[in-house]
């Protein structure tokens, strides 16, 4: 099965998660195309899509949302999984809660949407981003849960095998 794994990442944490997903899918014998959403020009020959984005102020990044809009018709015919990556330690329903991503996934039938904690390194951010993170109550550190990423990817592998 040929699977596209695409993700929007501002500081690399979301890309690293997408890379881990792609690697695990390859290890399970799938053909994987790993591209940034803005670089995808066609979904010809793609059997499934995994699309993710970092979350900023309850929104997916523009390259990911644009990808979903551009390929909305095709994505309605193939299985799509989605993942969001956001700050850890923020209260639920705060502006930086990664499970609150606005309407981005409403027009695409998503098999499953997974939220992963991300990484917060203030040295990588500008003043505005640091201020927002501080106001949201973000905790400094790398909270990416690689075991959870692997488990979610394994559930996708199982689902694809059942199809």
- pLDDT score recorded for residue 87: 66
Q: Which residues contact 98 (CB under 8 A, 6 or more apart)?
A: 55, 84, 85, 86, 87, 115, 116, 117, 118
Convert the pLDDT of each residue in 30-50 to its tens digit: 999 999 999 999 999 999 999
Convert the pLDDT of each residue in 73-100 to its tens digit: 999 999 999 999 986 554 455 544 455 5
Name all domains of the chain by residue range, CATH numbers in brackets.
2-157 (3.40.50.360)
The whole-chain average pLDDT of the chain stands at 87
The token pair that represents 40 in the structure block: 């995808």
């Amino acid at each position: 099965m040929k699977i596209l794994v695409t993700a929007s990442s501002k500081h690399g944490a979301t890309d690293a998660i997408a890379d881990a997903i792609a690697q695990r899918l390859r290890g399970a014998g799938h053909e994987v195309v790993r591209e940034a959403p803005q670089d995808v020009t066609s979904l010809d020959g793609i059997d499934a899509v995994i699309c993710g984005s970092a979350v900023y102020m309850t929104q997916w990044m523009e390259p990911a949302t644009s990808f979903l809009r551009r390929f909305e018709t095709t994505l309605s015919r193939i299985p799509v999984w989605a993942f969001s990556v956001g700050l850890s330690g923020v209260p639920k329903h705060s502006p930086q809660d990664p499970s609150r991503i606005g309407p981005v996934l409403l027009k695409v039938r998503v098999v499953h949407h997974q939220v992963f904690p991300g990484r917060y390194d203030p040295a990588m951010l500008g003043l505005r981003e640091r201020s927002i993170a501080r106001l949201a109550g973000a905790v400094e550190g790398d909270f990416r849960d690689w075991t959870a990423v692997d488990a979610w990817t394994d559930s996708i592998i199982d689902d694809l095998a059942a199809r």
